[in-house]
Amino acid sequence: MAREARDKAVNTKVDLSAFDTIKGSEEGKWMEVFAPDGTPIGAKIKLTGKDSKVYRSRIKKLAQKERLKKKMDLTDLENEMLDIHVACTLDWEGIVDNGKELEFNSENVRYVYEKYRWLLDDVVEFVGDREHFLAN
């Protein structure tokens, strides 16, 4: 029985376009926001993936700084990663801070990601997971 399944799998051809993550990364996908305790908070953030031009160009810029031997400490690296993920944020809905719904703009995105590091961690994880950006 196992051999039958293996033979069938070997003979099955898969179209690689089913695993295209570039298109989804460019268009962006919505991430539902959960509090650190796992409770959904009724907000979502639209993000590009790590195969997007925005992400890749920012990573190349960071690598170039490294090649030029600019000494970067942990704070510099954290700021660079923050910049990358702010740039990867395309939109949001329902983001509220201190009772006020925040307008989507890069200044507010930066403020939220700096103040709520747990949310930035979730964004970094989402952006880095290609499964989220598979073509549907």
CA distances from 7 to 14, 16, 129 (A): 14, 20, 31
Query: Each residue of 12-70: pLDDT tens digit?
Result: 788 888 899 999 999 999 999 999 999 999 999 999 999 999 999 998 888 777 666 66
pLDDT at 5: 61
d(CA 100, CA 102): 6
**Domain ranges for the chain:** 20-133
DSSP 3-state of 109: helix
Six-digit token pair at 73?
A: 């400490």
DSSP state of 69: T
Measure the CA–CA gap between 49 and 5, rounded to whole angstroms. Answer: 34
pTM of structure: 0.83
